[in-house]
Amino acid sequence: MVQTSPRYETIFSGLKLNTAHNSAVMEPLSFMIRRIIYAALIVFTPHLPQVATLALTSICVVMMVYSCNEKQWKEQSMQTLAVANEVFLYALLVLLNASTCMPPAATSQ
């Protein structure tokens, strides 16, 4: 059972509490872990942009599936916004990966 202290109530604002899979706890935790992974990929793999982009894309898909399955938000509009956020991030990452795969344009002299 999740019981929020007034001190930490903002973290759980809008989330459904006491669900079967504790999605109210998993949402802030997964958000923090994702940001740590993003930062680590940016710092430690600047020479491998395609690998970093594919890793971020796979994390994005996992979070999109999790969000669609758990429906952790109280309001449907927040749930829709969370899924839309993942879809747009996925599209951005796919475009980024496609742009790094293209050869540089030849310059005429």
Phi, psi of 29 (to 5 degrees): -65, -45
The pTM for the full model equals 0.70
Contact 24, 12 (CB under 8 A): yes
Instruction: Find residue 15's DSSP bridge partners.
Output: 73
State the total domains in the chain: 1
Show pLDDT as tens, one digit a residue, over the chain (109 residues): 666 677 766 666 777 777 777 777 778 888 889 889 989 988 988 888 778 888 888 998 998 888 888 888 888 888 888 889 889 989 988 888 787 666 766 666 6
Task: Say if 75 falls within a structural domain.
Answer: yes
Provide the angle, in degrees to the nearest 10, between the axes of the packed helices 49-70 and 23-44. Answer: 170
- Report yes or no on 103 lying in a domain: no
C-alpha span between 56 and 91 (Å, rounded): 11
Q: Indicate whether 107 belongs to any domain.
A: no
Residue 99 maps to a domain: no
Handedness of CA 64, 18, 21, 4 (dihedral sign): positive
Range of the domain at 81: 1-91
Compute the distance between CA of residue 4 and CA of residue 102 in angstroms, rounded to an integer: 50
